[in-house]
Amino acid sequence: MQYTQSAYFARRPPTSVGALLIPWIATLAMVGASTIVGHLMVVRWGTSAVDMIYLPAVLAAAALFGLGPGFAAALGSALAYNFFFTEPFHTFRITRPADIVTVAILFLVALVTSQLAARMRSQARAAGAHAARNATIAGLARRLLSCSSEAEIGSVACHELVAVFDCNAVLVSGLPKPKVIAAEPEASPLTPSDLAAAALVLESGEPAGHGTARVDPAEWQFHPVSSRLAVLAAMGLARDDGAPPVSEEHLPLLSNLLDQVALALERARFEAETRGLDDLRERDRLRGALLSSVGHDLRTPLTAIIAAAGELRRGDADPALVAAVGAEAAKLERYISNLLDMARIEAGAVNLKTEAVDLVDAVSAAIRDLHQTLDGHPVHVALADNLPLVRTDPHLLHHCLINLLDNAGRHSGSSAPIHIIAREENGGVALSIEDEGPGLAVDDGAPFDAFAQIRGSDQTGGTGLGLAIVKAFSAALGIEAIASRRDQGGAAFTLRFPRHLALSPVGADGQ
């Protein structure tokens, strides 16, 4: 179905005086023709059946031209029958009661028949208009299905609205400064008042501009293109002659068309977001493969370096140099371990082997493995007496403690102390590692994110993976990892073991 037909439905062309008179002239002609046929019948069969000759004329006038011409045909038929076929002839007087009844019944029958025919004609026109509107909406929806971007959707929508409403169209979006997505004709200008009206529509979701309830000096009339959640764009319509682009009776059609545009825009945005997620997943997959590859490729030569440093320590080499080589090699080994752990986390390959763990032993092991990194930092350990055992994976917990201690050592001053505090809390256990460094800034909202460095870490080194690994391993173990600022200055990182992971002290629970 071509949209030129819909355009005629949306805006009828002006009707001339001659065109307005044609239905009435045709009605009189049909009544006159019925009278001539009646005269031909009278010669052969008399006047008994002449009154029925007028009914086709009444039906035709009502069906073709509506109720007004149909009523005129009914009245004209009754008068013509009275004038030509009742005595006295060629007068409007009626002398016989039977003729009075015949004329009255003819008029009533013709009137009722004309009303029924006019009603059927009106219903047929309404059904045709409804079908045309549905065809217009379906046609626009079909064309929008092939569009994948806002620009394509805007171009198709403007083109179809121009055809339907015989006006100019422009689609704008964006706040606080709306921008034109598409326009037809393409050179359609928008004044500052027009852009202000478009911004008002995008903000309020109500029509604004020329010809709307809101007084506005804009030359364009803007309507919202809205989804269930938000206003996606504003469609502007304008006519070159300055008249309102859409009449009141055709606003429902415009609303339905704009709903289709809104659905297409929302679909395009969801598809764009989906493509972005697919790209992000692919980047994460490649990053995980790179991390795993780098970690495995570097581990073997790094192990050889650490072994060589041990051999040098037993020889005559400079002890300070050997210690420095060993410390840096150990630090690099931790970084590689972090890379491999991150790859395991992203691949979902974290396997838990839980057992009862004494936090005193766990903290001691972590401090021992980091003695070179923590050299110069006094480590104050304050673990509550009779601290419960916790059910966890000792290997993953060891990684968490090492990364938290390494983070505290790197972000504290060269001789600043580090505090390790453990206590019972709400039936569980809270283990905190605190430093006296610069602390967390107010806007450090996600210190546990992968590759996110806490403020100041660019001066002290670090990959930004340590805390992310702590967060991931803690989540796998059912432990809550919390970062906070110390009132005395510095940062505090707390591992909270919930009640169900806290066991009896050493010697209980069959351990």
The answer on pLDDT for 37 being more than 60 is yes
Tell me, yes or no, whether 314 and 263 share the same domain.
no
What is the span of the domain harbouring residue 71? 3-143
Give per-residue pLDDT as tens, 305-341. 777 777 776 766 677 777 777 777 777 777 777 667 6
- State residue 47's pLDDT score: 67
275, exposed or middle or buried, with CB in 10 Å at 0-12, 13-18, 19+? exposed
Residue with tokens 């169900």: 500
Tell me, yes or no, whether 364 and 428 share the same domain.
yes
Cβ atoms 254, 245 nearer than 8 A: no
Residue 445 belongs to some domain of the structure: yes
The answer on pLDDT for 381 being more than 50 is yes
Q: Which one of 94, 115, 143 terminates a domain?
A: 143
Tell me, yes or no, whether 364 and 462 share the same domain.
yes
Q: Which residues of 29-54 are buried (b: 16+ CB within 10 A; e: fewer)?
A: ebbeebbeebeebeeeeebeebbebb
Residue 301 belongs to some domain of the structure: yes
Tell me, yes or no, whether 317 and 243 share the same domain.
no
Lowest-confidence region among 50-64, 150-164, 467-481, 493-507: 50-64
CA distance 245 to 166: 8
Residue 51 belongs to some domain of the structure: yes
Query: pTM for the complete prediction?
Result: 0.44
Cβ atoms 310, 327 nearer than 8 A: no
What is the average per-residue pLDDT within 470-481? Answer: 88
The answer on pLDDT for 451 being more than 50 is no
- State residue 4's pLDDT score: 41
The answer on pLDDT for 443 being more than 70 is no
Three-state SS at 169: strand
For the chain, how long is the longest CA-to-CA vector?
Answer: 151
Residue 225 belongs to some domain of the structure: yes
Cβ atoms 137, 104 nearer than 8 A: no
- State residue 304's pLDDT score: 75
Torsion sign across C-alpha atoms 144, 145, 146, 150: positive
For residues 7 and 491, which has the higher predicted lDDT (pLDDT)? Answer: 491
Residue 224 belongs to some domain of the structure: yes
Of the chain, the percentage scoring pLDDT greater than 90 comes to 9
Tell me, yes or no, whether 304 and 285 share the same domain.
yes
What is the average per-residue pLDDT within 480-509? Answer: 81
Cβ atoms 390, 495 nearer than 8 A: no
Residue 510 belongs to some domain of the structure: no
- State residue 498's pLDDT score: 92
Residue with tokens 């852009």: 195
Tell me the two tokens of residue 503. 């066991």
What is the average per-residue pLDDT within 472-490? Answer: 86
What is the average per-residue pLDDT within 367-379? Answer: 83
Residue 509 belongs to some domain of the structure: no
Tell me the two tokens of residue 207. 């029509």
Residue with tokens 């009106």: 122
Q: Which one of 143, 168, 202 terminates a domain?
A: 143
Cβ atoms 228, 205 nearer than 8 A: no
Q: Which one of 346, 379, 404 terminates a domain?
A: 346
CA distance 442 to 41: 105
CA distance 55 to 76: 11
In sequence order, the β-bridge partners of residue 481 are 495
Cβ atoms 103, 94 nearer than 8 A: yes
The domain tally of the chain equals 4
- Cis amide linkage into residue 244, ω under 30° from 0: no
Give per-residue pLDDT as tens, 104-130. 766 676 667 767 766 776 777 766 666
CATH number at residue 178: 3.30.450.40
Tell me, yes or no, whether 91 and 200 share the same domain.
no
Q: Which residues of 432-470 are buried (b: 16+ CB within 10 A; e: fewer)?
A: bbbbbbbbbeeebeebbebeebbebbeeeebebbbbbbb
184 φ/ψ sector (left φ>0, alpha ψ -120 to 50, else beta):
beta
Give per-residue pLDDT as tens, 55-98. 787 777 777 777 777 777 777 877 887 788 777 777 777 666 76
Lowest-confidence region among 71-80, 135-144, 441-450: 441-450
Tell me, yes or no, whether 200 and 287 share the same domain.
no
- State residue 495's pLDDT score: 93
CATH number at residue 396: 3.30.565.10
- State residue 391's pLDDT score: 93
Tell me, yes or no, whether 139 and 174 share the same domain.
no
What is the average per-residue pLDDT within 177-182? Answer: 86
The band of 346, judged by pLDDT with boundaries at 50, 70 and 90, is low
Residue with tokens 């923590």: 374
Three-state SS at 366: helix
- Cis amide linkage into residue 176, ω under 30° from 0: yes
Tell me, yes or no, whether 204 and 321 share the same domain.
no
CA distance 210 to 216: 6
